[in-house]
């Protein structure tokens, strides 16, 4: 049976059903993370949908509609005090002494959020008599709005693919790739206040309307393009680069030139009106900046620049373990398989697509912060997924059933891999900013909590020098568990254990004062729970004050649960013994039951030349 031509899989109702299911999954993911239905089970770190950059995009809404007389965002001080552990104020350039702030973020995301925000605000007024713009109900509507813009973006792509006469089953495959195989999923559900899903939604409609205009040449479609282009600019100005795609909405260059001449000499009224419409959005942004700082400017990122303009970070943006596009959205490797089909279908549009994609890559790779801060994967590419998916769509339409099946199998595998990435990120296994090759492969496809925070705690190593002397201490427990003990005498030394997680105190010899400190701790550990990630913490004291601390996580060093595994960790604090008067070692047991045995502590003194 040819599933691609199946009557049932290609029915209109099946497509609607799948779209409903995808929406349900995104809502379920949001509820699972933010606990909308069961807020009592909500972890404190999952309370906010408005966070970091997103709070800058969002701040215009309460300023415009609630705190109308507050031109300097001073309301954010009270809001930050009201909601502890929030990051609302950090996205603003805020002066706490003058109680004044400015917002560098562009207004387009807030414009897209106005309808849902107002609905939420008036519901709050009816229910509670007031609304502060940041309570739990507002947080919920931010999440709901992001899913809505994912939906309208996907709807635009469905209409485009149908316009290209791609069957419904292939359309389902294509929207599955974008929705669950890329970080569009992540920024729709977990970082919903960011601008990317809004850019995705508006650019998707720009692409659909553009291809439609390229065929039917309707002035109405042209005016819609101008509105969308203005909105796209006001969300993220660098995305104006998609204007380069306009000639390639047409089947060839000649068709574009003929249409351009028609609008220049015959339909110039539509052209003028369209340009005015676009600049209306530009003017809104200009007014916003003038209202804040008293000058007309579009560059609100005056202290941030395209530092890599002459050395674009192509490889890092695409393939680095820190944030590489293809590393964290591996399903997009399928693009390379689609080039042949796209080239054969229409060379003009193929080279146009390549030109626009490369221009976007160049711009993205030139920014000073080429990894674009915290988050999962290369987030600027989310904005243009509706462009990047086009070659894959052509491939699904043109290739034979066997090749489609091969691509479908690859897609399922890569979607599974990406979903693991997402789980890892939410468990702090994939770090938001510190990933590298070593850590990536250390935690690859690992979802146990014992692999969390691997990127933060760097392994220390003893110097490659011969130690002047070594003091060793051993502790063995017949029960394989540490017990509360007051005194353990070994090698004429006293180790003190005070709490259930033993804390051993070491006082060095006076003759070691001129030497460097080195510590090695080894033994066996048996971890029984996935959530357990015990650590060994070393504290360095001088006159009763802690002057330095280091930690080594043990969870990720254990390949299998319920097996006794050898471990060894080293500490090299770059301190002299004269800098401290005692060292305390805390051997944590994590989630119980976790057991240790044959623990050995070695203290080294090294002389550095």
CB 594 within 8 A of CB 534: yes
DSSP one-letter string for 171-216: HHHHHHHHHHHSTHHHHHHTSTTSSHHHHHHHHHHHHHHHHHHHHH
The position carrying tokens 């660098």 is: 238
Supply φ then ψ for residue 54, to 5 degrees.
Answer: -60, -30
Please determine, for residue 490, whether its predicted confidence score (pLDDT) is greater than 70. Answer: no
Euclidean distance between CA atoms 564 and 274, whole angstroms: 71
The C-alpha atoms of residue 572 and residue 382 are separated, in whole angstroms, by 42
Q: What confidence tens digit (pLDDT) does each residue in 497-519 have?
A: 333 566 677 788 767 888 889 99
CATH match for 469-606 among 3.40.50.300, 3.90.470.20, 2.60.40.1180, 2.60.120.1310: 2.60.120.1310
Q: Per-residue pLDDT averaged across 529-533, rounded? A: 85
Q: What is the pLDDT of residue 512?
A: 81
Kindly give, in sequence order, each residue whose CB lies less than 8 Å from that of residue 304, ignoring residues fewer than 6 positions away.
367, 368, 369
Q: Which residue has the tokens 């007031």?
A: 130
Say what the pLDDT of residue 421 is. 97
Buried b (16+ CB within 10 A) or exposed e, 127-146: eeeebbbbbeebbbbbbbbb
Of 442, 410, 238, 435, whose CA–CA distance to 324 is shortest?
435
pLDDT at res. 99? 82
What percent of the chain shows pLDDT beyond 90?
58
Q: How far apart are CA 152 and CA 127, in angstroms?
A: 30
Give the three-class secondary structure for 404.
Answer: helix
Name the percent of the chain in helix, strand, coil, to the closest 5. 55, 15, 35
Domain ranges of the chain: 3-99+101-119+134-426, 469-606
More confident residue, 368 or 475: 368
> If pLDDT is split at 50, 70 and 90, which confidence band does 479 have?
very low
pTM of the entire predicted model: 0.89
| Nearest by Cα to 197 from 211, 210, 179, 209 | 179
Tokens coding 421? 């990435």
The per-residue pLDDT for 18 is: 94
124 neighbors 149 (Cβ within 8 angstroms): no
**Mean pLDDT on 129-146:** 90
For residue 211 the two structure tokens come to 């291809």
Instruction: Say which range, 174-188, 419-433, 465-479, 559-573, has the weakest mean pLDDT.
Output: 465-479
Over residues 240-295, the pLDDT tens digits come to 999 999 999 999 999 999 999 999 999 999 999 999 999 999 999 999 999 888 88
| Band of pLDDT at residue 4, cut at 50, 70 and 90 | low
* pLDDT of 95 higher than 60: yes
Model pLDDT for residues 55-93, shown as the tens digit of each residue? 999 999 999 999 988 888 888 888 888 887 777 887 888
Q: So what's the pLDDT on residue 510? A: 67
Burial of 355 by CB count in 10 Å (0-12 exposed, 13-18 middle, 19+ buried)? middle
Query: With contact defined as beta carbons under 8 Å apart, do 31 and 190 qualify?
Result: no
pLDDT in tens, 175-194: 999 999 999 999 999 999 99
Residue tagged 């005692």 (tokens):
582
């Amino acid at each position: 049976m040819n599933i691609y031509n199946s009557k049932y899989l290609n029915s209109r109702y099946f497509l609607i059903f799948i779209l409903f299911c995808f929406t349900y999954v995104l809502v379920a993911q949001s509820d699972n993370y933010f606990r909308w239905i069961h807020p009592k089970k909500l972890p404190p770190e999952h309370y906010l949908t408005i966070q970091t950059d997103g709070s800058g995009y969002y701040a215009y809404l309460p300023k415009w509609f609630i705190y109308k007389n507050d031109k300097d965002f001073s309301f954010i001080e009270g809001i930050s005090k009201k909601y502890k552990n929030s990051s609302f104020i950090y996205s603003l350039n805020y002066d706490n002494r003058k109680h004044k702030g400015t917002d560098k973020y562009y207004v387009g995301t807030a414009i897209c959020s106005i309808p849902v925000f107002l609905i939420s605000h008036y519901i709050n007024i009816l229910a509670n008599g007031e609304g502060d713009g940041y309570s739990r109900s507002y947080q919920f509507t931010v999440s709901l709005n992001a899913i809505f813009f994912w939906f309208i973006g996907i709807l635009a792509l469905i209409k485009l693919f149908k316009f290209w006469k791609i069957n419904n089953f292939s359309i389902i495959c294509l929207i599955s790739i974008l929705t669950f195989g890329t970080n569009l999923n992540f920024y729709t559900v977990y970082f919903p206040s960011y601008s990317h899903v809004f850019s995705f939604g508006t650019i998707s409609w720009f692409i659909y309307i553009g291809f439609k205009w390229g065929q039917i040449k309707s002035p109405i479609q042209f005016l819609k393009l101008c509105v969308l282009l203005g909105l796209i600019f006001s969300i993220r100005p660098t995305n104006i680069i998609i204007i380069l795609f306009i000639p390639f909405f047409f089947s060839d260059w000649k068709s574009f030139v003929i249409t351009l001449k028609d609008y220049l000499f015959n339909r110039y009224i539509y052209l003028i009106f369209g340009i005015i419409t676009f600049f209306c959005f530009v003017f809104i942004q200009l007014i916003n900046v003038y209202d804040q700082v008293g000058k007309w400017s579009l560059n609100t990122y005056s202290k941030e620049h395209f530092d890599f303009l002459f050395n674009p970070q192509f490889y890092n943006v695409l393939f680095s373990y820190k944030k590489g596009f293809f590393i964290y959205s591996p399903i997009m490797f399928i693009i390379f398989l689609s080039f042949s089909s796209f080239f054969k279908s229409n060379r003009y549009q193929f080279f146009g697509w390549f030109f626009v994609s490369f221009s976007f890559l160049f711009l993205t790779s030139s920014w000073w912060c080429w990894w674009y801060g915290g988050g999962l994967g290369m987030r600027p590419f989310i904005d243009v997924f509706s462009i990047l998916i086009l070659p894959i769509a052509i491939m699904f339409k043109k290739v034979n059933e066997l090749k489609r099946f091969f691509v479908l199998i690859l897609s399922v595998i890569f979607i599974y891999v990406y979903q693991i990435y997402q789980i890892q990120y939410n468990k702090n296994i994939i770090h938001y900013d510190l990933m590298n090759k070593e850590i990536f492969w250390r935690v690859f496809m690992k979802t146990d909590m014992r692999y969390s925070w691997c990127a933060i705690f760097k392994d220390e190593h003893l110097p490659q020098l011969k130690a002047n002397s070594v003091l060793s201490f051993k502790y063995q427990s017949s029960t394989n568990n540490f017990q509360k003990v007051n005194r353990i005498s070994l090698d004429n030394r006293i180790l003190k254990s005070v709490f259930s997680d033993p804390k051993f105190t070491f006082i060095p010899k006076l003759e070691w004062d001129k030497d460097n400190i080195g510590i090695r701790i080894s033994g066996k550990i048996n971890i029984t729970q996935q959530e357990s990630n015990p650590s060994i913490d070393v504290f360095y004291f001088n006159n009763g004050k802690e002057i330095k601390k280091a930690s080594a996580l043990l969870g990720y060093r254990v390949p299998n649960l319920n097996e006794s595994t050898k471990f060894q960790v080293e500490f090299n604090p770059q301190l002299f013994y004269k800098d401290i008067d005692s060292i305390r070692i805390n051997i944590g047991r994590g989630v119980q039951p976790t057991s240790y045995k044959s623990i050995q502590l070695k203290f080294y003194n090294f002389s550095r030349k």
